[in-house]
Amino acid sequence: MPKLTIVDIAKLAGVSPSTVSLVMNKRPGISEETRKRVLDVIERMNFAPSQSARSQILKSSQTIAVLFNMNSHPLEHLFQESLNKSILRYCTEREYNLVFVACSFGDDSAPVALPNILRSRGVDGVVSYGYVPVSVITGLQDLELPYLLLDSHQLPNHCMSLRVDYYGAARMAMKHLTDNGHTQIAYIGSNFPPLYSQQTFEGYRSALEEMNIVVPLSWIQMQSKDSDGEDSAEKQMQAILQSGAMPTAVFCAADIYAIGAIRALKQAGLRVPSDVSVIGIDDILISSYIDPPLTTVRIDTSRLANQGCDMLFASIDAGTPNTVHEEFSDFTLAVRSTVRSLK
Amino acid sequence: MPKLTIVDIAKLAGVSPSTVSLVMNKRPGISEETRKRVLDVIERMNFAPSQSARSQILKSSQTIAVLFNMNSHPLEHLFQESLNKSILRYCTEREYNLVFVACSFGDDSAPVALPNILRSRGVDGVVSYGYVPVSVITGLQDLELPYLLLDSHQLPNHCMSLRVDYYGAARMAMKHLTDNGHTQIAYIGSNFPPLYSQQTFEGYRSALEEMNIVVPLSWIQMQSKDSDGEDSAEKQMQAILQSGAMPTAVFCAADIYAIGAIRALKQAGLRVPSDVSVIGIDDILISSYIDPPLTTVRIDTSRLANQGCDMLFASIDAGTPNTVHEEFSDFTLAVRSTVRSLK
DNA sequence: TAAAAATATTCAAACGTTTTAATAGAATCT
DNA sequence: AGATTCTATTAAAACGTTTGAATATTTTTA
């Protein structure tokens, strides 16, 4: 059947196409009577206006693009997929659509060709997660689009960012350990991305310092940039165990690391938490399913996504790119079974 | 800056807009010389044609919609998110975009209002996962769009479906158990969706029958439709344990159930697999992270998605909805640590 | 070398909306 | 009652492509 157009509706309602358009867009200056008549026809005919025809005029496609890195570890996706869901909900609410754009973020040096879609689709805004190559950020900048870095792991120049306060999260984790009497605390983290690395480590360091605790240097384990989070953490934990001195607890800068650390501990014949306590950050889906269930600092992804979307749509509504930077620090302690009280 | 259009490019290349269009669409009848000249300008100017203007003419938006049920259990999403990723890869390859449509699939009786996007966007095809209310299927049918039910749990009438051969998967799981000397095998599954339920159970039943094994009825545990997979499985396992007779192994119709079952076993002070073996179906992400790592029948989601996309795009390319039904049976045994050999 | 055929390019209409300016009609003011 | 304002409606242009028909150019054929 030939697809219905606005002029079909107009004919059926006995008005001009313009009137139908005005009604659909809830514009003022239409008599209550004709408005109702038009809406009736639309309802009855099940009419939906052509999005492409609209976009062409409006220069807005009611679409948000989400950059999705196809290159990362499955566990890393867990946190992002959780964000995806909340963003989808938010956008649906606002009658925006979400398109996912597959990207391959390699290393920083190789510029990433931004998929054409961002330009040809006329998306209204862009979201990306975590660490993003600078070439992407500058590329987006040229498009002059509202662009939000969510859970941003770097200091962006020309776009919006919502950064998780990993320092605060680390402090919360450390506080839980020290509150439970731990002082001999090892650290498993990474040296990349720099900002994230610095924040988590500083949380660890300052907490120890404030309590005048000193630990062996071998307890501080930093993954290098391109190591595999989970497996490397396993090796890092082994290194700690072989260092001679034995910590009572390990603070992991991410749940992924905690998973590797626990695996190493088990393999070494140690029990968690009776022999060694472990705590992480994030609370990814898997964390409550491992054995023992991981005690961790939960980052509320739903609120994180909402706050981010608020920023993004503020910029979209204003009709201009923005460069606001905000920080997110809505943490709660997910107390499960990997931290033992020494008191 | 004013956005570039095809006529800007035409001017710069010294040709007409039509020529530019022909070049971009790789149409024949353009001299090699002008083709190169035009492409040069496009490249240099970084030109991307307006998707909305194109769609309007072509009546194709180069877009696939994925129906995403916001109502389901996080663990159930795991399998689907794995499919998402593969579909995204496939579509990107073909220069199609993926838009995710949030749906709330409740029960079958309440009709689901299909989001307007499916009609106004002019999507070229639709994919949904798992069990879908019939109202959705009939709704999609009216749109006369290529529509694929992926990992379909029902017998569709008017759309394409790619069904996983859960009977075969169940047989593979059962074979692994019996090969390892198990005969006293309990069953944890569900009675919904009917087709899925029937297939997995039939795999279980026929395997036992062929070996002339009989088991107590209390070992056959069917979840009801709206119970929560994971937690119900835990209760089902408890019921089996309290039934008096003790199985040496439990076949779970899905990994989610296996996770609940293992939890119950542990809580009862039993060890997996020394006391009771457990096997599942799916191999969701989490299965290799639980303790002990779950032995399960892996369904290769990447191939499943590819086969599905092949079907979908065959229909799209043919320009007409299709009603092909295929079955997927690419299983491999993921042997991990929850099945003990009795031999 | 004129006509025919083949090749390369362009014209102009079409796609289905939104929107500005114009029009018609009703209500208000002097 | 004529002029003015206000309200409701519409005509027509615009958005940026694609495409079938038309034109211009070159090559082949007779």
* Residue range B223-255, pLDDT digits in tens: 998 888 899 999 999 999 999 899 999 999 999
Q: Is the CB of A56 under 7 A from strand C?
A: yes
| Chain A touched by B127 (CB under 8 Å) | no
- pLDDT band for position A163 (cuts 50, 70, 90): very high
Enumerate the residues of chain B whose CB falls inside 8 A of the CB of residue A101: 92, 97
Q: How far does the CA of B258 sit from the C1' of C14, in Å?
A: 59
Q: Considering Cα of A56, then A58, then A62, then A68, what sign does the dihedral take? A: positive
Please give the structure tokens belonging to residue A169: 């999260």
Is the confidence at residue A110, as pLDDT, over 90? Answer: no
Confidence of residue B1 (pLDDT cuts 50, 70, 90): low
Partners of residue B51 in chain A, C-beta under 8 Å: 52, 61, 117, 120-122
Interchain CB distance below 8 Å, B68 and A56: no
Inform me whether the C-beta atom of residue A293 falls under 8 Å from chain B C-beta atoms: no
Distance from CA of B59 to the nearest CA of A (A): 9
Nearest-CB residue to B52 (from A55, A101, A117): A55
Q: Report chain A residues whose CB lies below 8 A from the CB of B122.
A: 50-52
Mean pLDDT for A3-19 is 96
Write down the mean pLDDT value for chain B: 95
Residue A318 touches partner B, C-beta closer than 8 Å: no
* DSSP helix/strand/coil, B225: coil
| pLDDT of A181 strictly over 90 | yes
pLDDT exceeds cutoff 90 at B319: no
Please say whether the beta carbons of B332 and B315 come within 8 A: no
Going by C-alpha positions, the residue among B186, B69, B179 that lies closest to residue B128 is B69
Q: For residue A102, give both structure tokens.
A: 């597959």
Reduced to 3 states (helix: H, G, I; strand: E, B; else coil), residue B187 is strand
Distance in Å from C6's C1' to B28's CA comes to 14
Per-residue pLDDT for A109 more than 80? no
pLDDT in tens, B61-108: 999 999 999 999 999 999 999 999 999 999 999 999 999 999 998 777
Q: What is the mean pLDDT of residues A51-55?
A: 96
pLDDT class of B57 with cuts at 50, 70, 90: very high
> Residues 146..205 of A with a Cβ closer than 8 Å to B: which?
none
Contact between chains at B115 and A99 (C-beta distance less than 8 A): no
B122 touches chain A (CB under 8 A): yes
Residue from A100, A294, A336 whose CB has the most chain B CBs within 10 Å, to mutate: A100
Nucleotide nearest to A13 (CA to C1'): D9
Q: CB of residue B17 closer than 7 A to nucleic acid strand C?
A: yes
B301 strand C contact, CB < 7 Å = no
The pLDDT of B131-148, averaged and rounded, is 91
- pLDDT the model gives residue A1: 64
Å separating the CA of residue B13 from the C1' of nucleotide C17: 31
Is strand C less than 7 A from the beta carbon of A184? no
What Rg do the C-alpha atoms of chain B give, in angstroms?
Answer: 26
Mean pLDDT (whole number) for A330-338:
98
What pLDDT is recorded for position A343? 83
B306 touches chain A (CB under 8 A): no
Per-residue model confidence (pLDDT) at position B225: 87
Which of A51, A74, A98 is opposite residue B100, by nearest beta carbon? A98
Contacting residues of A for B290, CB less than 8 Å apart: 289-291
Considering only CA atoms, give the Rg of chain A: 26
Residue A106 has pLDDT above 80, yes or no: no
Averaged confidence pLDDT in chain A: 95
Are B199 and B166 in contact by the 8 Å Cβ rule? The answer is: yes
Inter-chain CB proximity B290 and A285 less than 8 Å: no
Whether residue B117 and residue A77 make contact (CB cut-off 8 A), yes or no, is no
Amino acid at residue number B42 = I
SS (H, E, C) chain A: CCCCCHHHHHHHHCCCHHHHHHHHCCCCCCCHHHHHHHHHHHHHHCCCCCHHHHHHHHCCCCEEEEEEECCCCHHHHHHHHHHHHHHHHHHHHCCCEEEEEEECCCCCCCCCCCCCHHHHCCCCEEEEECCCCHHHHHHHHHHCCCEEEECCCCCCCCCEEEEECHHHHHHHHHHHHHHCCCCCEEEEEECCCHHHHHHHHHHHHHHHHHCCCCCCHHHEEEECCCCCHHHHHHHHHHHHHCCCCCCCEEEECCHHHHHHHHHHHHHCCCCCCCCCEEEEEECCHHHHCCCCCCCEEEECHHHHHHHHHHHHHHHHHHCCCCCCEEEECCEEEECCCCCCCCC
Query: How far apart, in whole angstroms, are the C-alpha atoms of residue B71 and residue B106?
Result: 7
Q: How confident is the model at residue B142 (pLDDT cuts 50, 70, 90)?
A: confident
* Interface contacts A/B by beta carbons within 8 Å: 109
Is any atom of nucleic acid chain C found less than 7 Å from the CB of residue A34?
A: no
Short-list B101, B95, B103, CA closest to B63: B95
- Rounded CA-CA distance A193/A207 in Å is 21
What is the predicted pLDDT for the residue at A3? 86
Distance of alpha carbon B101 from its chain centroid, rounded? 15
Residue A225 pLDDT more than 90?
A: no
Model-wide pTM > 0.75: yes
Contact A68 B88 (CB under 8 A): yes
A290 and B285 within 8 Å at the Cβ level: the answer is: no
